[in-house]
Amino acid sequence: MNRKIRIILLTTYALVGMFFFITKINTGGMWLIVAATLIILADIKYASISAAFRSMKKNDINKTKKLLNETYKVEWLSKSFRGYYYMILAYVQTGEGELSEAVKSYNNALKNGLRTANDEAIIYFQLAVICMAINDTELVKQHLQKAKELKPKKLLVEKIEEAEKMLKKFELGNENMLVQYLKNQGFKL
């Protein structure tokens, strides 16, 4: 649901509660006000991060970006939601080719923290892929190693292994393999 519509509905809910409270038609008016206030605060604190995360998983950059833009103030998000905000923002920036901004956002995500070690491993993997794009093989190795240390899920382990194979081929002089891998990852080269 669009954020503006949510705010309008919640404001209406609070106004109805105030009407009931002032006119004493219904003794539950105060509870309507309290409920509306709590829902508005939750909307500000958690914004549309969960919806943006689901949209990111579906690889819909435009919708993800739109949902992220519904965040009122990033600093008001809870710490872990702030971490996911930056993770999702980095995904959008990577998709738009803004790699240096994506690196900053991924680092902010790590700084703010994420709920699972697998999500942190995903960030390190993505940082490794970005480093591949700029040919920084030492950082690629470091990020892949950090990702593996977090004991990610099987699918990510397979991607890490594939990236390591591509890196070895690149170090042996087969640059086309690396370019192909990056294109498969969605990079615009």
Q: Which two tokens stand for residue 138?
A: 């030492």
Please state the separation of Cα 181 from the chain's center in Å.
23
Specify the number of domains making up the chain.
2
**Does 163 lie in the same domain as 128?**
yes
In 3D space, the residue among 104, 136, 129, 109 whose CA is nearest the CA of residue 120 turns out to be: 109
- Round to whole Å and give the CA distance between 151 and 145: 10
Q: Taking all residues of the chain, what is their mean pLDDT, rounded to a whole number?
A: 83
144 found inside a domain: yes
User: CA 174, 180, 181 angle in degrees (round to 5)?
Assistant: 95
pLDDT above 80 (res 183): no
Domain of residue 101, CATH code: 1.25.40.10
pLDDT in tens, 95-127: 898 999 999 999 999 999 999 999 999 999 999
**Does 159 lie in the same domain as 68?**
yes
More confident residue, 89 or 162: 89
More confident residue, 54 or 46: 54
**Does 132 lie in the same domain as 41?**
no
Q: Which domain holds residue 3?
A: 1-46
189 found inside a domain: no
- Round to whole Å and give the CA distance between 189 and 176: 12
pLDDT above 60 (res 64): yes
8-state DSSP, 48: T
**Does 39 lie in the same domain as 20?**
yes
**Does 39 lie in the same domain as 108?**
no
pLDDT above 80 (res 63): yes
